Copies of this chain bind each other. A is one copy, B any other.
Amino acid sequence: MVMTINWIETNRYKEARTGLLMTKRGVIETPAFMPVGTQGTVKAMTPEEIKETGAEIILSNTYHLYLRPGTEIIDQAGGLHRFMHWDLPILTDSGGFQVFSLNSLRKVSEEGVTFRSHIDGSTHFFTPEKAVQVQNILGSDIMMPLDHVVAYPSNFEETRDAMERTLRWAERSKNAHHGGEKQALFGIVQGGFYPELRKKCCSALTEMDFPGYALGGLSVGEPLEMMNEILDISLPLLPTEKPRYLMGVGSADALLEGIARGIDLFDCVLPTRIARNGRVMVPEGYLTLRNAEFARDMRPIDPECSCYCCRNYSRAYIRHLLKSNEILGLRLTTYHNLFFLAHFVAAIQRAIREKTFDLFYRDFWTRFNKNGNNMERSE
A contacts, CB < 8 Å to B: 39-41, 43-46, 68-69, 73, 76-77, 83-85, 295-296, 298, 312-314, 316-317, 319-321, 323-324, 326-328, 330-331
The CA of A312 and the CA of B39, in the complex, are separated in Å by: 18
List 21 A-B pairs, Cβ < 8 Å: A39-B320, A39-B324, A40-B321, A41-B326, A41-B328, A43-B326, A43-B328, A44-B327, A46-B328, A68-B324, A69-B295, A73-B295, A73-B316, A73-B320, A76-B296, A77-B298, A77-B317, A83-B317, A85-B312, A85-B317, A331-B331
The CA of A265 and the CA of B51, in the complex, are separated in Å by: 37
The CA of A69 and the CA of B324, in the complex, are separated in Å by: 9
Once the chains bind, are B314 and A83 in contact (CB under 8 Å)?
yes
Minimum C-beta distance from A42 to chain B (A): 8
Once the chains bind, are B324 and A327 in contact (CB under 8 Å)?
no
Once the chains bind, are B312 and A43 in contact (CB under 8 Å)?
no
Which of B45, B317, B323 touches A84 (beta carbons < 8 Å)? B317
Q: Chain B: which residue is nearest A298 at the CB level?
A: B77
Q: Take A73-B296, A83-B314, A296-B76 as given contacts and tell me if A68 and B320 are in contact as well, using a CB distance cutoff of 8 Å.
A: yes
The CA of A46 and the CA of B328, in the complex, are separated in Å by: 7
Q: Please give, as numbers and ranges, the residues of chain B lying within 8 Å of A45 by CB-CB distance.
A: 328
Q: Please give, as numbers and ranges, the residues of chain B lying within 8 Å of A298 by CB-CB distance.
A: 76-77
Q: Please give, as numbers and ranges, the residues of chain B lying within 8 Å of A40 by CB-CB distance.
A: 317, 320-321
Q: Please give, as numbers and ranges, the residues of chain B lying within 8 Å of A319 by CB-CB distance.
A: 69
Once the chains bind, are B330 and A41 in contact (CB under 8 Å)?
no
Q: Please give, as numbers and ranges, the residues of chain B lying within 8 Å of A317 by CB-CB distance.
A: 40, 77, 83-85
Which of B41, B43, B324, B331 touches A46 (beta carbons < 8 Å)? B331
Minimum C-beta distance from A135 to chain B (A): 18
Once the chains bind, are A331 and B327 in contact (CB under 8 Å)?
yes
Chain B CB within 10 A, most for which of A39, A40, A85, A317: A317
The 8 closest A-B pairs by CB, nearest first: A44-B327, A69-B320, A85-B312, A39-B324, A41-B328, A41-B326, A83-B317, A73-B296
The CA of A312 and the CA of B330, in the complex, are separated in Å by: 23
Q: Please give, as numbers and ranges, the residues of chain B lying within 8 Å of A296 by CB-CB distance.
A: 73, 76
Q: Please give, as numbers and ranges, the residues of chain B lying within 8 Å of A83 by CB-CB distance.
A: 314, 316-317, 320
Q: Please give, as numbers and ranges, the residues of chain B lying within 8 Å of A84 by CB-CB distance.
A: 317
Once the chains bind, are A330 and B331 in contact (CB under 8 Å)?
no
Once the chains bind, are B43 and A85 in contact (CB under 8 Å)?
no
Once the chains bind, are B313 and A85 in contact (CB under 8 Å)?
yes
Q: Please give, as numbers and ranges, the residues of chain B lying within 8 Å of A330 by CB-CB distance.
A: 327
Q: Chain B: which residue is nearest A84 at the CB level?
A: B317
The CA of A98 and the CA of B170, in the complex, are separated in Å by: 62
Chain B CB within 10 A, most for which of A83, A84, A324, A331: A324
Minimum C-beta distance from A322 to chain B (A): 11
